[in-house]
Structure 1
Amino acid sequence: MKVLIAMDSFKGSLSSKQGSEAIAAGIKEVYPSADTKMLPLADGGEGTVEALVEATKGTLFTVPVIGPLQEKIEATYGVLGDHRTVVIEVAAACGLPLIREEQRNPLIATTFGVGELINDAIERGYRDFIIGLGGSATNDGGVGMLQALGFQFQDRHGKEIELGGQSLKDIRRIDAENVSPALSEAQFNVACDVTNPLYGETGAAYIFGPQKGATPEMVEELDQGLRNFARIASEDLGKDIQNPPGAGAAGGLGAAFIGFLQGELKSGIELILESVKMEEQIKGVDIVVTGEGKLDGQTSMGKTASGVAQLAKKMGVPAIALAGSITEEAADLNEIGITSYFSILTKPMTLNEAIDPDTARQNLQVTTAQLFRLIKAFKQ
């Protein structure tokens, strides 16, 4: 029996590696000599660096950067096992979890630290980047990141603007003369699963600003700043950063990557599966086990389980999905490649009980063992 375990994390409970280990233990209860290969995964959001570095036996680097509230923090990025590809989660340098809820303020929050992470990797000689855009606390259009990379954003007095979304309205000129030539050699593949424009009613400020602490008045100010940023970028550099799908992702970081760094926005899970060469990983296995904390209507729209299952179906390999909770909408997942899916809950329990790491680990192991007992019975 050869099994590929390709799990996302159970957010707030188990990492993808911990979940994979519990599943492997359940399989070994039934098939002690089973060949279980664990491939921790993520969809471009939280946990992407950890999962990809673990899956490819890569390396982590931790460096001091300016955090979202312009304070010094330690942020970590990874280099994959190919010794060539850097993976960065922007949330490591400007994420919501770095700020207490009462301190959230996208008027002052900055992406400067993201640029510092990129700079550090470039100085080490790396040129290929995977960027995960999820979870930012910012709405500065990526200007902070670009400032760290050498772009200058000047006000009407020729002075560099301050950090944070509140300063975007002050931009009158953009200067790229001090940008390192090495940056033009870099290639950015950006994991992004939203299509919002930079500004407007469906843009970064109106759609994502409130969850980052923006009041209605702040939202209006931030949106006007993004409009001004887009106008100056068009006038000075001839760049359209408003209309590309995903420009409004992560408070406008999508626009910065598209317009200033020639980044290519891709489906998060497709980018991740491509990076770990998933098709090659599936070749020759008998069963694929995947899953995540919740299977619902969103799962089929670019989540880990659906991406893994679609490739498994393409290669004629059955795929089992395990999850903490499953909604009625998950029934559609059978059509896209998940052979069967199961909740790991073994009895009625509260959410807090279910996400307790020890409980979740035990439930994953028990459910997996029971499933493979059934598989073994049919094989005999």
Structure 2
Amino acid sequence: MRVVVAVDAFKGCLSSAEAGEAVAAGVRAADPGGAVRVLPVADGGEGTVDALLAERPGCRAVARVVDAVGRPVDAAYALLDEGPGTTAVVEAASCIGLAQVDVGPDLPPRAGSAGLGLLVRHAVDHGARRVVVALGGTACTDGRAGAAARDGGVGPRP
């Protein structure tokens, strides 16, 4: 038997790769001779960078930015090796993710996207010619105003 395991993360418990390996262990226990391949997946939120780098050539980069409520946080993005120039895949959830903040009635007016702008700026400053932003799992409610103000002029102009 040949099985491909592609399981999204269990938020706050297991990454996609960890969940996939748990399923793969069950498949191997049921069929020790079977071939099992685990493919990490993500929906544009947490784990997007890890899922891409599991299957594409490139490297993980980390930048010190701010979270959705302005606290310092180390956020990740992928620098993919492709064609002329480097493409950065920026994971918004790694800096302004919902999982990083306490959710309550006071969050919406405070949650901003400045950290995302700083992360995009970091990627461009470190050689990215193209930037893809994965927007899943964010806490911000500012319509990207914070990112536009903090991206150093990289973002689209009105």
1:291-317 CA distances to partner (integer Å, 9 max, x unpaired)? xxxxxxxxxxxxxxxxxxxxxxxxxxx
Report whether the alignment pairs 1:122 with 2:124. Answer: yes
Runs of 4+ in 1 over 6 A off after TM superposition: none
Coordinate RMSD, CA, aligned? 2.8
2:137 is aligned to 135
Q: Distance in 1 between matches of 2:96 and 2:22?
A: 32
Counterpart contact for 1:41–1:55, Cα < 8 Å: no
2:99 partner SS: helix
1:279 is aligned to none
Give the 3 Å change call, closer, same or farther, for CA 23–71 of structure 1 in structure 2.
Answer: closer
2:25 is aligned to 25
Give the 3 Å change call, closer, same or farther, for CA 128–36 of structure 1 in structure 2.
Answer: farther
1:28 partner SS: helix
**Displacement, 1:101?**
3.1
Q: TM-score, normalised by structure 2?
A: 0.78
Higher fraction of strand: 2
**Displacement, 1:30?**
4.2
1:77 is aligned to 77
Counterpart contact for 1:61–1:78, Cα < 8 Å: yes
Q: Distance in 2 between matches of 1:125 and 1:131?
A: 16
Give the 3 Å change call, closer, same or farther, for CA 11–261 of structure 1 in structure 2.
Answer: farther
Q: How does 1:157-306 map to 2 (within 5 A)?
A: 179=153, 183=154, 260=156
Q: Distance in 1 between matches of 2:93 and 2:65?
A: 12
Q: TM-score, normalised by structure 1?
A: 0.36
**Displacement, 1:6?**
1.9
Structure 1 portions without partners, runs of 5+: 151-178, 184-256, 263-380
Paired-residue identity, %: 35
Q: How many residue pairs were aligned?
A: 156
Q: Distance in 1 between matches of 2:58 and 2:117?
A: 22
2:88 is aligned to 86
**Displacement, 1:41?**
0.4
Q: Distance in 2 between matches of 1:40 and 1:116?
A: 27
**Displacement, 1:142?**
0.9
Q: Distance in 2 between matches of 1:70 and 1:24?
A: 39
Counterpart contact for 2:93–2:135, Cα < 8 Å: yes
1:53 partner SS: helix
Query: Considering only CA atoms, is the larger Rg found in Structure 1 or Structure 2?
Result: 1
Structure 2 portions without partners, runs of 5+: none
2:128 partner SS: coil
Counterpart contact for 1:53–1:81, Cα < 8 Å: no
Higher fraction of helix: 1
1:107 partner SS: helix
